[in-house]
Structure 1
Amino acid sequence: ESDVSFSCFLDVLTIWKAVSKYVRNQLLKEEPQAVRITGLGTFYIKKCHSFENGKMITFQKPVFSLSRTVARAHELQHASVPVPGEITKVSVSYKKTDLGVPYPEKVVQHCVQETLDFFCFILKKKEDVDFVLKDVGTLAVRGTEVTMAFCEDLLLNLNKSRDMVEKLLTKKWVISDKEVALFPSRFGRVHQLPQFEMRVVPRRVSLTDEETSPGVKNGLSRGNVSGQFPL
């Protein structure tokens, strides 16, 4: 197995794609499990009911609960929703056999942790960030506001009805990840992880152009924006 003590580059996008797939698979099980990414938060599926025109409709929606440690450390506005006791709770497995990646467990875990450390570094500098989990959704942080927007295909797989997906989105019971591109930032730009890129978004208010803080710039320069991550 590879030794994580020497300097090398990993395909960070491949690793995070595998982590996202693991999360998605747990959520789409016949008996969905709550799955935690340590240092980020927990995903689970909530079964809901609503009365319309005298009829009760049943649907499923994904829920994300941000890590309390992260929320408190960076004073983020996010309601931590406890996972119902009847739902089985698991953490993401970093084993090669579970993720289907060619890297040993220690290397994968180190790569994930380094990405999450940089996520917290951005938050510490009070900058905005989108954390993309492919085919699951996007965690968007704007100032102290936190929004988890979900992939419409995930909603469709959960509810097996496009009409229900439209209802979920129209009533804002769930936010689509397609809306994230329109979420404004006071900087007019956001960090995008795990791509380690900067992305232009609408500016929230009219401010003079602010430079990205030097600390974040230096940190970003250590992560190759082509999708490779140094270990």
Structure 2
Amino acid sequence: MAADVFSYLLFEPLDPKELNLLKDLTTSEICQVWWATSKYIREELLEKRAVDIGIGSFAVVPAHATAGEDGVLDVDRPVFQLNHHIQKFYKLKEPKTKIPPEIFEYPLDFQEIAESIYFRVPIVQQCIHETLLFFAEALRGKKEVDFFFNRLGILSLRGQEVIMNFFDDCVLQVDATGNMLPALLGDSEMLNMIAFRGKNNFTRCSEDGCFVLPR
């Protein structure tokens, strides 16, 4: 059973005893779980299905870019939105682009993720849960975090703001309109969602204390 979002609302510092599995797994094994999870999320986005990972959701939403001959281009844009309970509890800034309420958000399919890497389902589920607990602790402690999702992008925490920068190949692939490339080239606001090496506001070189997940 998926962890309840309220388990990620931490009133006190996280007890290391709650991360028993992460201590037993190797870094390679943890990254394997998240590689498979990211792959699963991307495949769901390609099918235009939103995915709730526990602390928030990934989705593809219709958007408008200021570009093109008519001045506006319709595109399909990937987004990540923190769960509103998480956002309110940790006093984080609201995202500019939101997932429309009519879009149904599917939970992670732990069975499918586990089968893709030949792990047992409870291991995959607990690994994901404990990693997200660690992320919640970073939210509680206002730490700096870069959370890498393979072939998706980088979820970054700086101060009171959480932002998802997507890799360009993901952005182009999930767009079914064919307008994304000219939109990125013509609209600087759209281009801001792309994860460039060291050039984004949030994927820049950070303080020495920046946590990098899932490593």
1:150 corresponds, among 166, 169, 172, to 166
Secondary structure of the 1:70 match is: helix
Matches of 1:33 and 1:136, distance apart in 2: 15
Which structure shows the higher helix fraction? 2
TM-score (norm 2): 0.74
Unmatched runs of 5 consecutive residues or more in structure 2: 1-19
1:42 aligns with 2:57: yes
Q: CA RMSD in A?
A: 2.8
* Structure number having the greater strand percentage: 1
Corresponding residue for 1:191?
211
Task: Identify unmatched segments of 5+ residues in structure 1.
Answer: 196-231
**1:120, distance to aligned residue in structure 2 (A):** 1.3
CA contact under 8 A between 1:34 and 1:83: conserved in structure 2? no
Match of 2:188 in 1: 171
Please point out which of 120, 129, 132 is paired with 1:116.
132
Aligned equivalents of 2:163, 2:113: Cα separation in 1: 32
- The one-character-per-residue Cα deviations of 1:134-173 (angstroms, maximum 9, x if unpaired) are 11111111111221111100112134567336337x4222
Q: 1:37, CA displacement in angstroms? A: 0.3
Instruction: Give the counterpart of 1:24 among 42, 46, 56.
Output: 42
TM alignment of 1:1-231, pairs within 5 A: 8-9=24-25, 11-29=29-47, 32-38=48-54, 40-50=55-65, 52-54=68-70, 56-79=72-95, 81-85=98-102, 87-96=103-112, 100-159=116-175, 160=178, 163-164=181-182, 166-167=184-185, 170-173=187-190, 174-178=192-196, 179-180=199-200, 182-183=203-204, 185=206, 187-195=207-215
Quote how far apart the aligned CAs of 1:8 are. Answer: 3.7
Shift of 1:45: 0.8
Q: Is the radius of gyration larger for structure 1 or structure 2?
A: 1
Q: Take 1:100 and 1:182, find their aligned partners in 2: how far apart are those partners? A: 29
- Superposition misfits of 4+ residues, deviation over 4 angstroms: 96-99
TM (norm. structure 1) is 0.69
Identity across aligned pairs (percent)?
A: 25
Q: Secondary structure at the match of 1:43?
A: strand
Q: Distance in 2 between matches of 1:88 and 1:99?
A: 25
